[in-house]
A and B are shown apart, each in its own frame.
Chain A
Amino acid sequence: YENRVVIAFLYVLILQHNRFVSDSKGKEPDVLFVGDSLVQLLHEFEVWRKLFSPLHALNFGVGGDATQHVLWRLVNGELDHISPKVVVLWVGTNNHGHTPEQICGGIMAIINVIHQKLPHAHTLVLGLLPRGKSPNPLRERNASVNALVQAEVASLSHVSFLDMDPGFILSDGSIAHQDMYDYLHLTPQAYQKVCQPLHERIKSLLDKHAP
């Protein structure tokens, strides 16, 4: 059974990857978003059209992706033929079975590939969000990843880190379904909350990048 699920999943992944590779030919994005479903779903809501399309952004998010999948995609064509000024990277929450150190290592490996292929681009790494309705080990794991990544990129001039949590965890420790409809994925209203500061940060990075 698991083999069939894996095969179906890989099949969809490969098709989406091929589409992204052909998407990058002929487009000239200034901003490239890459990551998992939190990136992918962002494209489907109004906030994308309002805040990020005007910045000439491309969206290479794939639901379910962990760091190793994003790494594979970027090594295998998704950074070819484009020269974005800013790459926004949001991945890590799907790395089940990996330690925070391993997940941080995966994120750093992606950052290195981006830097090799796009030496003039700035990478903006987004912090992993808390998840689950109540306190649970994945919240701790994601917070640890954020701390590790933040420390590692502090000394790199071509990378910066942005904490994306506007305070999703309420005083009783719960996350509201009005923010995460399945306690993982963001509602349109939650995307509005997290995207304002993200939009500001990307704009200031683009301004710095300009000659």
Chain B
Amino acid sequence: MSAEENPAAEPAPVIDVQGDGRWMSQHNRFVQECKDAEPDVLFVGDSMVQLMQQYEVWRELFSPLHALNFGVGGDTTCNVLWRLQNGELDNIRPRVVVLWVGTNNHEHTADQVAGGILAIVQLLLSRLPKCKIIVLGLLPRGEFPNPLREKNAAVNNLLRTSLPQLGPVQLIDVGGGFVHSDGTISSRDMFDFLHLTASAYRTISTSLHELLLQLLEETPQERRASLV
């Protein structure tokens, strides 16, 4: 699906309706961070990414990997696409990008959301040719079974096979284990049945951290090539 056909692949900033311009302030801060920092890992996405940085697990597992966090609460694929096209990839050459976005795309179908994520991945690959990409699967949400769980699972299914075809890209599904046998999600894992608690972040971070360590380990040839 091209951008003309897929609204989820159309870059768009968040318009300030509340009156304090916070979205643009966050974007501008990230653009400035690109001038100052030399991250090896870039996390980008919505509140699932943003909130991770507020918990201990970020300091323990991801800061040491020289990771930057460009998560903004509420972002859709359109917003992330706009941010990445408007400065948040300038002057940096991360070796791995972790992308986690799509759960806020309320006006789009699963097909469109998957297409939006693919568009972001294509942008990353074109801007950062030596980069490896991890796309985190959308988590189930809501206390009980509901249409958004099905939609998020459908997005993940669409991405599972299509992502690796684009390059060094993989889908990691960290959502297993959140839905109990009775179909419920616990508030001990998602305090509002959407956002993760500290302990849930810890659970998903272990495998993500291990994968990052693997991907960051590279041959001397790859290291020389990436410095060019």
Contact = CB atoms under 8 A, between A and B. Distances in A.
Interface of A: 1, 4-5, 8, 11-12, 15-16, 19, 40, 43-45, 62-63, 96, 131-134, 136-139, 177, 181-185, 187-188
A139 B18 CA distance: 11
Given A5-B106, A11-B146, A133-B25, 17 more contacts: A1-B107, A4-B106, A4-B107, A11-B142, A16-B193, A40-B191, A44-B55, A45-B54, A96-B17, A96-B19, A133-B29, A136-B21, A137-B20, A181-B53, A181-B54, A183-B20, A183-B22
A181 B50 contact: yes
A184 B22 contact: yes
A138 B106 contact: no
B21 A15 contact: no
Chain B interface size, under 10 / 10 to 19 / 20 to 34 / 35 or more: 20 to 34
Given A136-B20, A139-B20, A182 B191 contact: no
A19 B143 contact: yes
B19 A136 contact: yes
A133 B146 contact: no
A45 B55 CA distance: 8
Interface of B: 17-22, 25-26, 29, 50, 53-55, 72-73, 106-107, 142-144, 146, 148, 187, 191-195, 197-198
Contact of A12 (B19, B73, B107, B194): B194
Main secondary structure of the interface of A (DSSP, over half): loop
B54 A12 contact: no
Nearest to B53: A181
Contacts of A40: 191-192
Contact of A62 (B18, B54, B192): B192
Contacts of B25: 132-134, 183
A169 B191 CA distance: 30
A38 B224 CA distance: 47
A134 B53 CA distance: 23
B141 to A, nearest CB: 8
Contacts of A11: 142, 146
Contacts of A133: 20-22, 25, 29
A182 B143 CA distance: 27
A167 to B, nearest CB: 19
